[in-house]
Structure 1
């Protein structure tokens, strides 16, 4: 079974996978990366409500095979808030 490595980025922070995992296919490795991104996004949000998370799937030779991007964009509209008075 092929070994794939999934690296993650969250703004200025990055986590490089030096061990890798065996997956039956590239699609399975890609799906594992997709499934992990929402968990990473559960950490405290930035002040501006915007954040970009990325995952990169590599093969055992370091060749990038997939890029997965998850964007968070939380915008409030206080002008639309109804008054309770």
Structure 2
């Protein structure tokens, strides 16, 4: 099975995954990234009112083949 690497990008910088994880397919790696980003987004939202969090997925055939992104923005409405 192929090994996939999940590099995290946010307003604080980039965290490069040097270990990776084994998944049966790119689709399975994509599902994992979406689930992971959901957890990261929840935690990020507690600490910040706005920003951007992304996971770029790559395999041994780098460069990244997919980016999953969540953008936060809190804006007051009305009074």
Residue 45 of structure 1 deviates from its aligned partner by: 2.9
1:57 aligns with 2:61: no
1:15 aligns with 2:15: yes
Q: Point out where structure 1 has 5 or more consecutive residues left out of the alignment.
A: 80-85
Q: What is the number of equivalent residue pairs in this alignment?
A: 77
Structure 2 residue aligned with 1:67: 67
List, as ranges, runs of 4+ consecutive aligned residues in structure 1 with deviation greater than 4 Å: none
Larger % of helix: which?
Answer: 2
Q: Point out where structure 2 has 5 or more consecutive residues left out of the alignment.
A: none
Residue 59 of structure 1 deviates from its aligned partner by: 0.9
**What CA RMSD, in Å, does the superposition of the two structures yield over aligned residues?**
1.5
TM-score normalized by structure 2? Answer: 0.83
Distance, in Å, in 2 between the alignment partners of 1:11 and 1:27 is: 27
TM-score normalized by structure 1? Answer: 0.78
Distance, in Å, in 2 between the alignment partners of 1:15 and 1:57 is: 12
Look at both structures and tell me which one has the larger radius of gyration over its CA atoms.
Answer: 1
